[in-house]
Amino acid sequence: MSEYAATFELIDADKDGRISADELVRLMAVLDEPLTIDGARGAISKVDADGDGLIDLDEFSTWLRGR
């Protein structure tokens, strides 16, 4: 299992295996760095390798590794 899986599951509030723009907005609110829904979509599009508008665990891991 990926070392990022636990973090991923925390963010994935509805447990569908994908992080949506909504879930990213909620995360950033918790981290006290509020993000608009458009900002979240923009952030997702940068790491969304398969272009489905959602971040799966593979894309999430790649993103964190590349930071």
Residues that bind Ca ion (CB under 5 A): 12, 14, 16, 18, 48, 50, 52
Residues 59 and 64: their CA atoms lie apart, in Å, by 9
Closer CB to Ca ion, 38 or 50, in the complex: 50
CB of 10 vs Ca ion, minimal distance in Å: 11
CB of 22 vs Ca ion, minimal distance in Å: 8
CB of 17 vs Ca ion, minimal distance in Å: 7
Contact criterion met (CB below 8 Å) for 25 and 13 = no
For helices 21-30 and 37-47, angle between their N-to-C axes, nearest 10 degrees: 110
